[in-house]
């Protein structure tokens, strides 16, 4: 499996606190069958002023050395949609700095975007359209955890029609984020609006990875081909900067 969204670096966000915890989480992902993981530190200007590209790069190199090939860690970010992001998009179109490019997933044209938990940010359609026009492809992180989107799923369908990708958290499918998140996540997988499933793991105790269990559930319910598309093929396309495929499960 390829995990597109997890928090593996210590001391940069609410992920692992120490190198020992980071290594233990990396090894757990490997045990679950993950070979490649994109570490996606929160970029949320108010709380986590990541990325500091040099520090993130060094952290990934250190973690990869410690993992000794059992799991390979790639760079990325989980970017909260805030007004400052418009200035980032403008810089990306003309003269992106090192720190600007560090927001992309493995240096491709994909960016993992996170909505605030309660609302759909005003004007987000036009912002996503601007990104797509500039050649930046948004992947929407765990929309099933956004309260407003649960009640307005047609908004999510429109984002998908616009050209956005959708990533659901494996623990959501297992009920860890509540019944409503679980229900809509399954419904959206069935509708073919979901392109990838990721762990969004933060540690072994708080928010552990549950990719293996989610894989088994999806494979049992919708078949192995759907599981492969959601856990392997589309995540692989994203880290390679290739095109996404729709994955209708029904």
Binding site for Fe ion (CB under 5 A): 78, 200
Judged by CB, which is closer to Fe ion: 3, or 78?
A: 78
Judged by CB, which is closer to Fe ion: 41, or 127?
A: 41
Judged by CB, which is closer to Fe ion: 144, or 222?
A: 144
Smallest separation, CB 13 to Fe ion (Å)? 8
Judged by CB, which is closer to Fe ion: 13, or 233?
A: 13
Judged by CB, which is closer to Fe ion: 144, or 200?
A: 200
Smallest separation, CB 202 to Fe ion (Å)? 7
**SS3 letters across the chain:** CEEEEECCCCCCCCCCCCHHHHHHHHHHHHHCCCCEEEECCEEECCCEECCCHHHHHHHHHHHHHHHCCCCEEEECCEEECCCCHHHHHHHHHHCCCHHHHCCECCCCCEEEEECCCCCCCCCHHHHHHHHHHCCCEEEEECHHHCHHHHHCHHHHHHHHHHCCEEEEEHHHHCCCCCHHHHHHHHHHHHHCCCCEEECCECCCCCCCCCHHHHHHHHHHHHCHHHHHHHHHHHHHHHHHCCCCCCCCCC
Number of CB atoms found within 10 A of residue 4's CB:
31
Q: State the chain's maximal CA–CA distance in angstroms.
A: 47
Judged by CB, which is closer to Fe ion: 175, or 223?
A: 175
Smallest separation, CB 95 to Fe ion (Å)? 29
Cβ within 8 Å of residue 173, ≥6 positions away: 182, 185, 186, 189, 197, 214, 217, 218
Q: By Cβ distance, which residue is nearest to Fe ion? A: 200
Smallest separation, CB 103 to Fe ion (Å)? 14
Judged by CB, which is closer to Fe ion: 38, or 230?
A: 38
Smallest separation, CB 139 to Fe ion (Å)? 12
Smallest separation, CB 78 to Fe ion (Å)? 5
Smallest separation, CB 224 to Fe ion (Å)? 27
């Amino acid at each position: 499996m390829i995990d597109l969204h997890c928090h593996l670096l210590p001391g940069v966000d609410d992920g692992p606190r120490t190198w020992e915890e980071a290594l233990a989480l990396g090894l757990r992902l490997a045990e679950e069958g993950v070979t490649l993981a994109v570490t996606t530190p929160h970029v949320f200007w108010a709380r986590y002023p990541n990325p500091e590209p040099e520090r993130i790069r060094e952290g990934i190199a250190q973690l990869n050395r410690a993992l000794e090939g059992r799991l390979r860690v790639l760079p990325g970010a989980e970017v909260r949609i805030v007004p400052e992001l418009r200035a980032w998009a403008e810089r990306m179109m003309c003269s992106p700095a090192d720190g600007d490019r560090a927001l992309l997933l493995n240096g491709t044209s994909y960016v993992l975007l996170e909505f605030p938990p309660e609302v759909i940010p005003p004007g987000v359609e036009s912002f996503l359209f601007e990104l797509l026009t500039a050649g930046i492809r948004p992947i929407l992180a765990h929309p099933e955890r956004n309260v407003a989107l649960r009640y307005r799923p047609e908004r999510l369908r429109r984002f998908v029609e616009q050209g956005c990708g959708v990533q659901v958290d494996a623990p959501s499918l297992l009920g860890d984020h509540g019944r409503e998140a679980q229900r809509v996540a399954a419904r959206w997988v069935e509708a073919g609006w979901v392109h990838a499933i990721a762990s969004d793991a933060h540690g072994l105790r708080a928010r552990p990875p549950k990719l293996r269990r989610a894989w088994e559930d999806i494979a049992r319910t919708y078949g192995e081909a759907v599981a492969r598309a959601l856990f392997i093929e589309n995540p692989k396309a994203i880290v390679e900067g290739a095109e996404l495929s729709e994955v209708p499960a029904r």
